[in-house]
Amino acid sequence: MSVTIYHNPRCSKSRQTLELLEKKGVAPTVVEYLKTPPTAEQLKAILTQLRFTPRELMRKKEAAYNECKLENPALSDDDLIRFMVEHPILIERPIVLANDKAALGRPPEQVLEIL
């Protein structure tokens, strides 16, 4: 089984999720998404697997959210995805992909449902 985690090593929930996976014997591919952000196409696929809208996957307390005026309801999903690709800090984390499914590790145990 191929498992990927979109990980930020500075985030406690991300570290806890990675540790949980490893304790379960899973050796995931780790993507430090701040260094290697997903493409718009990858992000659209992740959103589909999560069954989230772009806004649901955004970190609204990040400075970039306010600086880019992302609260504007006139922005399309494609606009929001473009901002997340350009400013990956806006993407909620961690995201785990496995078995053609995705889960947000908030709480970390939630990712076990897709393994």
| Residues annotated as catalytic (active site), given as ranges | 11
Burial class of residue 72 in the structure, from the number of CB atoms within 10 Å of its CB (0-12 exposed, 13-18 middle, 19+ buried) = exposed
Residues β-bridged to residue 3: 98
Please give the Cα distance from 49 to 60 (Å, whole number). 21
